[in-house]
Amino acid sequence: MSTDLKFWREKERLKDEIVDCLTAIITTRGCAWNRCYMCSYARESRQVSEKELIEQIDAVFKNKAKVYKIFTSGSFFDDSELPKFVREYVARKFKEVGAEKLIVESRPEFIEEDKLSIFEDINLEVGIGLESADDFIREKCVNKGFKFEDFLIASKKLKSFGFRVKAYLLLKPPFLSEKEAVEDALNSIKKIESIADVVSLNLTNVQKNTLVEKLWYAGLYRPPWLWSAIEVLRKSDLDIICDPVAAGKSRGPHNCYSCDLEVAKAIRNFSLTQDKSYLEVYCECKRKWEVAIELENYSRVPIFF
Ligand code: SF4
Ligand SMILES: [Zn+2]
């Protein structure tokens, strides 16, 4: 059995109920793109045999849950990561355990009708790492390698099967000021509100061996303030979730380091309930964030010029 399969239990909202969810990261050969500036997922990938893939799926479904998140460090619908028969096996095991919702992730170019049809009678949600609805920012600041149009085409295919679309947005890709980052997230939300069923706001953290890490070491990148996340969550009207990974660490989203755990907890509580009253948190450092938002743009030439 593979020893590097990771899985853990967490809570997930399902039709206004908070239920048990099993999240698994299946080890595969990894993302076919592998060029995004903030991503180090390739470090978690390696060549795995088909037998090992099946063993990992078996190990995951031995643990009962209502919701399963089956992630790879890449794309669930990429045949070179998970061959068709492995995806079929996932669908079969999911039905066998009587689970209610399956969540997977994929780049848009791998989302094709014949791959989706296997999941026809399953409540499927597919996460797509759109990062920003702005093609310029997605290309220059993330190096994502696909266009907004590609996201729209993939979403349309998912909708035609009645599947849910989850859009991942990246709060504060490199080269954006704090203010530009907040504006980009809010503009992106507006642009996808009629397409995405749910938005997952991902706060950039500094991963090893990435361009973001080089900039951070050079003092040219600061992960987003948690206040920026609060601002985006407060101002958006759609279903939006956020799990501030590495909150309160210098490599992760942070405020003044004193209030980070409390603010991250407020964000997680909001994600589970969508109750905006959780976002009413305060610390004196909020004033510093306001000043940073106000003044940072004066210290640099905006990238849009
Ligand atoms: S962020 Fe997603 S698409 Fe980009 S390199 Fe990482 S796994 Fe691949
Ligand atoms: Zn603080």
The pLDDT tens digits for 23-33 are: 999 999 999 99
| Distance of alpha carbon 128 from alpha carbon 140, whole angstroms | 19
| Per-residue pLDDT, 15 | 87
Confidence class for position 299, pLDDT limits 50, 70, 90:
confident
Label residues 148-185 b or e (16+ Cβ within 10 Å = b). bebbeebbebbeeeebbbbbebbbbbbbbbbbbbbebb
Place of tokens 């305060």: 282
Across 193-213, average pLDDT: 97
Say if strands 6-14 and 17-26 run parallel, antiparallel, or are unpaired.
Answer: antiparallel
Q: Which ligand is nearest to the CA of 127?
A: 1
Closest C-alpha among 24, 27, 20 to residue 4: 27
Across 243-264, average pLDDT: 98
End-to-end CA distance of the chain: 54
| Per-residue pLDDT, 300 | 74
How does the average pLDDT of the chain come out, rounded? 95
Q: Output the DSSP codes for 107-169.
A: -GGG--HHHHGGGTTS-EEEEEEEE-S-HHHIIIII-----HHHHHHHHHHHHHTT-EEEEEE
Which atom of ligand 1 sits closest to the CA of residue 107? 3
Ligand 1 binding pocket mutation candidate from 25, 36, 44, 142 (most atoms within 8 A of CB):
36
| Distance of alpha carbon 230 from alpha carbon 233, whole angstroms | 5
Q: 5 CA distance to ligand 2 centroid (A)?
A: 36
Q: Is residue 271 within 8 Å of 265, Cβ to Cβ?
A: no
Over residues 226-253, the pLDDT tens digits come to 999 999 999 999 999 999 999 999 999 9
Q: Which residues surround ligand 2, an ion (CB under 5 A)?
A: 255-256, 259, 283, 285
3-state helix, strand, coil in the chain (%, to 5): 40, 20, 40
| Per-residue pLDDT, 305 | 47
Percent of the chain residues past pLDDT 90, beyond the cut = 93
Range of lowest pLDDT (35-49, 131-145, 213-227): 35-49
Q: 292 CA distance to ligand 1 centroid (A)?
A: 30
Ligand 1 atom 5 nearest Cα:
34
Which residues lie with the beta carbon below 6 Å from any ligand 1 atom? 31, 33-36, 39, 41, 73-74, 107, 129
Which atom of ligand 1 sits closest to the CA of residue 38? 1
The pTM of the full predicted model, rounded to 2 decimals, is: 0.95
Q: Is residue 53 within 8 Å of 95, Cβ to Cβ?
A: no
Alpha helices in the chain (DSSP H): 50-61, 84-96, 113-116, 135-137, 148-160, 178-192, 211-217, 226-235, 260-273, 286-295
Q: 227 CA distance to ligand 1 centroid (A)?
A: 26
Q: Which ligand is nearest to the CA of 128?
A: 1
The helices-and-strands tally (H runs, E runs) of the chain is 10, 8
